[in-house]
Amino acid sequence: MNKEKYIQIKQIFKKNNGYARTKDIIEAGIHTSYLYQLLAEGVISKIKRGLYQWEKYNNSAYEEFISVSKIVPKGVFCLGSALSYYDITTINPWQYHVAIFRDDRKPVLPDFPPIKIYYFSKVQYEIGIQEINMDKHKIKIYNIEKSICDCLRYRNDIGMDIVKQALNEYVKRKDRNIHKLLRYADKIGIYNLLTKYLEVLL
């Protein structure tokens, strides 16, 4: 490969913390054939159509979280993925759980990493979102209280054992905020259900 083109492409990936779109390459005036050559050589890997990752750029524990956030740019990590991030579950979900606003266009998902999309109403989608930094990438995830409420609402999907464990771990935390937890529960319609479980735990 032309060394100058290689350096140009690498700089584009570097600017985007190890990721680039076909669009980024074209806008830089570089023919896509160079991109496909790097793909064939194993220098980059394809995450989904039009999105690539520089293979040796990032090998952190959060690499898949970052990839998923690129695949579903409007997505917010929720349910089991959020519980796992906050370390209030011993279950490591085999799928990434991501919420999007139900009126948004359905994202095109690759075979790997496995992602399950949850379609939230406007109120359920918008409340409790926070942005965290993972290796210079901004990742959207629901805060711990909202995550617990969502899990209780989707208890039949993720399993009541996981929800109970998360609640048990949460009430032990010094930074717990029961008022915020109840406020979110009220907004998404599970207030009475949550208070029933909290009466046993508190």
Instruction: Give me the mean pLDDT over the 90-103 stretch.
Output: 89
Q: Residue ranges of the domains in the chain?
A: 3-54, 70-201
Instruction: Give me the mean pLDDT over the 86-104 stretch.
Output: 90
CA dihedral 55, 113, 95, 136 (to 10 degrees): 40
**How does pLDDT run across 122-170, given as a tens digit for each residue?**
999 999 999 999 888 899 999 999 999 999 999 999 999 999 999 999 9
| DSSP label of 111 | S
Cα-Cα-Cα-Cα dihedral sign, residues 85, 156, 153, 107: positive
Measured distance CA(108)–CA(173) in Å, rounded: 38
Model confidence band, residue 60 (pLDDT cutoffs 50, 70, 90): low
Pick from 6-10, 29-33, 59-63, 192-196: least confident? 59-63
**How does pLDDT run across 114-131, given as a tens digit for each residue?**
899 999 999 999 999 999
Model confidence band, residue 6 (pLDDT cutoffs 50, 70, 90): confident
Measured distance CA(111)–CA(121) in Å, rounded: 26
Model confidence band, residue 113 (pLDDT cutoffs 50, 70, 90): confident
Gyration radius of the chain's alpha carbons? 20
